[in-house]
Chains A and B, each alone.
Chain A
């Protein structure tokens, strides 16, 4: 009886048993029986709808992946729909092989120096940028999380940081400031101007404020200073929050593309996101030059599968850290942003 109440979705096998049970409890729980049928119908449509929605969400990515593994001739013929299609010649006639992978686009990509240079710049940017940002976030959040009575300037500082996220001079003044600092056309221009993430600082300071006050009071009694309390007590106890913020910072630096468009002229220090922007969006003809006739893959490499291969390699690092990200983000984002 109680089991039936709490689990209205009934397995097919048990339904007969349940039905006989129901007859006995007809009067008492007539409401629930009536509705559980409607709910089953709803549940069926609910499952179907959400699964279709998830597939729809994924299909564009699958299509691009399929295109990247397809022969250019098959793409031109419109044969590539969600699975890779290879092509070949049999007795002078064009033949298409569905479900056959063609790696020509990737083989050609591997030889592209500019692409891997951009990849390497992005890696450097992520490593240095994340280190700098995390250091700043941690050492800024700690003082701002202090008790107002202990640190009377706290609110002034918090507003100082917070206001900087509300208002800025806009694109042009920012551009000239970066220009004047001498960071123009260096890797530093991609890291330093955006290194202080006010949102992450607020996230972490709210997390620090939830830590039991007794911890640092006890440490202080034992003679620990602020630096010791921060590094020996606060940081080890807030590892999940730190992991979340680190991962988000990594994704942020990897994905950010606009600052290189305005701050970088030298093509050899373009990060991958910006390099891809020039290829995918602006369709830079130089970068999209297919191999000339006679070179390997000349017949099967077109703009499309080359673009698709680069889209996929560009997204691959995100796809790789995504499982780790997912483990933390639900917890982390709720921790800081919504209180009470």
Chain B
């Protein structure tokens, strides 16, 4: 009798628990996601309308999206006018330029940095360096941008240092006494269009370089230590160990992160740029996200903003899907 109970069919159904509580648990989360996320997907319809919130008289949640007349060009009027908008085109170009530069700099530097950190044997030193390098990741761009603006302002430390070195420059002293007093022409870095993109890239490295090593360091710590011992017995020096053991050990993660970084091609970092750019740097600093914000909330051209937003969201969706598909294919990466 007892042996029968342990037989196969019984084992299969060992955990037939009621699933109703599981559905109930998901209910609040699903409700919020429906209201604040899926309903906005329905809201992309305003990109095809002559949308004006004044048109809406309904009180239900979604009514505002259905009370405006269709746009011209069979509803594509907003897209047509955006496509001919010089600012929108330059914002798109800036977005891709900045994002690609960020991806490139943030791909190589953490790999090199984590290899270097791995060579530090004194744990206290390593820990201290890591603690400092990780810190900016947790501080918001508002504060970091505030710091960057202060340092680069005309009265900031960078200009002060330049002014100081200009002053003690011996060539400046060759002339008469009055020449040394010629004021150093202070540079307003943050207002300079040609400086803007380098400032963005460098401050981004400052914030994220430490944090992005964490995943590589985890990969390095997962390398089998006996491999190193074997390599030492075979006469491999430290550099050869790095090249032939550590780097191959990191390879899966490197490939994975490279593939996943595809997602970022249209993401130049709204928080950072919104807090650092200004009217003077629109030509090199304006990106799609800041453009959408401005034409919607400053110019009240809501439909245009929605059209650009939809364009960006669709491209991001494609990029993310492709990158996850590639990650699954080449790195056997599963998200859940």
Binding site for B on A (CB under 8 A): 5-6, 8-9, 29, 31-32, 34-36, 38-39, 42-43, 46-47, 49-51, 53-54, 57-58, 60-61, 63-64, 67, 75-76, 78, 80-81, 136, 139-140, 142-144, 146-147, 150-153, 157-158, 160-162, 164, 166-181, 192-196, 201-202, 205-206, 217, 220, 225-227, 230, 251, 254-258, 262, 273-274, 276-277, 280-281, 304, 307-308, 311, 314-315, 318-319, 322, 325-326, 329-330, 333-334, 337-340
Closest residue on chain B to residue A63 by CB atoms: B157
Residues of A within 8 A of B163 (CB): 78
Q: In the assembled complex, how far is the CB of residue B121 from the closest CB belonging to chain A, in whole angstroms? A: 6
Determine which of A76, A81, A177, A318 lies in contact with B157 in the assembled complex, contact meaning CB atoms within 8 Å. Answer: A81
Determine which of A42, A164, A314 lies in contact with B33 in the assembled complex, contact meaning CB atoms within 8 Å. Answer: A164
Residues of B within 8 A of A318 (CB): 138-139
Contact residues of B between 183 and 224, Cβ < 8 Å to A: 206, 210, 214-215, 217-219
Residues of B within 8 A of A280 (CB): 142-143, 145-146, 149, 275
Determine which of A64, A150, A176 lies in contact with B150 in the assembled complex, contact meaning CB atoms within 8 Å. Answer: A64
- Knowing that A6-B232, A140-B29, A170-B292 are A-B contacts, what are 5 other residue pairs whose CB atoms are under 8 Å apart, sorted by A's residue number? A136-B28, A192-B36, A195-B32, A281-B142, A330-B218
Q: How far is the CA of A143 from the CA of B253 in the complex (A)?
A: 29
Instruction: Tell me which of B15-23, B80-88, B172-180 binds A.
Output: B15-23
**Given known A304-B155, A330-B218, A334-B215, contact A46–B120 (CB-CB < 8 A):** yes
Instruction: Tell me which of B1-9, B99-107, B328-336 binds A.
Output: B328-336
**Given known A162-B335, A176-B53, contact A139–B28 (CB-CB < 8 A):** yes
Query: Is B30 part of the contact surface with A, judged by Cβ < 8 Å?
Result: yes
A-B CB pair tally, cutoff 8 Å: 297
CB pair A257 B23 closer than 8 Å: no
Which 5 residue pairs spanning A and B have beta carbons closest together? A173-B43, A170-B309, A169-B40, A35-B237, A280-B146
Q: In the assembled complex, how far is the CB of residue A260 from the closest CB belonging to chain B, in whole angstroms? A: 11
Residues of B within 8 A of A46 (CB): 116, 119-120
Residues of B within 8 A of A180 (CB): 61-62, 64
Among A50, A256, A319, find the residue whose CB has the most chain B CB atoms closer than 10 A. A50
Residues of A within 8 A of B244 (CB): none
Q: In the assembled complex, how far is the CB of residue A187 from the closest CB belonging to chain B, in whole angstroms? A: 16
